[in-house]
Amino acid sequence: MIPNYFSRFAHLRMSRDVNGVLLVEMHTDGGPIRFDATDHEQFVDAFYEIGRDRGNKVVILTGVGDYMADIDFATFGNVGDANVWSKVHDEGTQILENIANIRVPVIAAIEGRAFIHTEYALLANVIVAGRGATFSDLPHFAGGIVPGDGIFTAWSYRAGAGRAEAFLLDPQPITAAQAAEWGVVTAVVDDGQAVAKARELAALYLKQPEVTRRNTRIHFIQPLKERIVREVGYGLSLEGASAAALVQSMTAAA
């Protein structure tokens, strides 16, 4: 039986095989996702549902074409308005907490450009990337706002604080090979083969008892989960203040 939530979210395509491996594909109309405010709202519930469904034995997160390279800023409205940002703030913290609360192994399969919300992928236990994949941070410091939505927390945890700070202050794209050198990417494969490699790893993990798999994910994610709880709400508050200042300066210049 296919769970109802599989088809509830416009930009998430979900399918689960007979072994319980859930493939979550981010997309827009079957192509690369253009992330928008509706996604930001719906991903809260989507990852909550994924985490609470014990039919999911391993989760693979990927994108169609690109992991995520485009964002529709206009759909978020006036982010200089405290009421608007309050919603962004709450959803941003809840998305990451709900990904961290997925209690089975999570694998991220990265193809193409991963320029937006790479922190979602970095909450996976393992990241597999195609050779042509690139990583960057399009929306934050280069666009005039603080990278406070968890991207610094995730990148500093995986790559180290010094690398994360330099990467986010001057977000030039890095290759999958460089991300592997930093310890962020686990395996680099031929382009188009990231999901296939993720499925190989999932099959390996499934050889272990379910409680072992679940408890290993819980154990491994705990230190990063603690940082998310401590840092992301505060970081999003700082990001909101910078967004308000940016809107104010743009309005004054108009």
The first and second tokens of residue 128, run together, are: 């597999």
Taking the CB of residue 78, how many other CB atoms lie within 10 A of it?
13
Res. 250: pLDDT tops 90: no
User: Which is it for the CA torsion 91, 96, 101, 107, positive or negative?
Assistant: positive
* Domains of the chain with bracketed CATH: 4-253 (3.90.226.10)
Give pLDDT tens digits for 62-76: 999 999 999 999 999
Mean pLDDT for all residues in the chain: 97
Q: Residue 107 contacts by C-beta under 8 Å, 6 or more apart in sequence? A: 58, 59, 60, 61, 124, 125, 126, 127, 128, 198, 201, 202
Write the burial class of residue 180 (CB in 10 Å: 0-12 exposed, 13-18 middle, 19+ buried): middle
Q: For position 1, what pLDDT does the model report?
A: 82
* Residues involved in catalysis: 119
Give pLDDT tens digits for 141-153: 999 999 999 999 9
The first and second tokens of residue 249, run together, are: 């300066």
Res. 254: pLDDT tops 80: no
2-24: b (≥16 Cβ within 10 Å) or e:
eeebbeebebbbbebeeebbbbb
What integer is the mean pLDDT of 95-123?
A: 98
What integer is the mean pLDDT of 27-42?
A: 98
According to DSSP, residue 141 is labeled: G
Under a CB-based contact definition with an 8 Å cutoff, are residues 233 and 86 in contact? no
What integer is the mean pLDDT of 211-219?
A: 98
pTM listed for this prediction: 0.97
What integer is the mean pLDDT of 172-181?
A: 97
